[in-house]
Amino acid sequence: MTDTRRSTGTQHLSFTRTTTSDGITVLRLRGEIDHHTVAPLHQALTVQDTTSAPRTVVDLKEVTFMDSTGLNALIAGHRATLDTPGWIRLADAQPPVLRVIQITGLDTFIDYHPTLGQALTA
């Protein structure tokens, strides 16, 4: 398990990384995703283990804000899986974050699920 925190003033983003028994990585995010805090998320989604296809669920339950840099990090993570049998799924976003995902159409090419459990079993 990894816990990463990046803070700038009152803004912060932290996440834990766990792996299920099926080999799915779950990134549980907490805080705000913006240009001050996005770097660790971007790295977590784009740096790949070359021995296996990345299968990642991003749990957004505790994300209170996400701007375009967060969207770009998720898109970069999705693109990193395109030449692999891997994938990225999004789960359990709070209404303001889900609105950003839906308005921008991100959920039309990255699967979104209302709960973490549904994302893990989809």
Instruction: Count how many domains the chain has.
Output: 1
Query: pTM score, two decimals?
Result: 0.88
pLDDT digits (tens, 9 = 90+) for 86-122: 999 999 999 999 999 999 999 999 999 999 999 999 9
One-letter amino acid for residue 108 of the chain: T
Q: Return the structure tokens found at 71.
A: 């969207």
Question: Looking at residue 69, which CATH number applies to its domain?
Answer: 3.30.750.24
The alpha carbon of 77 is separated from its chain's Cα centroid by a whole number of angstroms, namely 8
What pLDDT shows up at residue 46?
83
Q: Which domain holds residue 60?
A: 2-121
Average pLDDT over residues 67-75: 96
- Closest Cα partner for 87 from 57, 110, 55? 55
pLDDT confidence band for 83 (50 / 70 / 90): confident
What pLDDT shows up at residue 50?
58
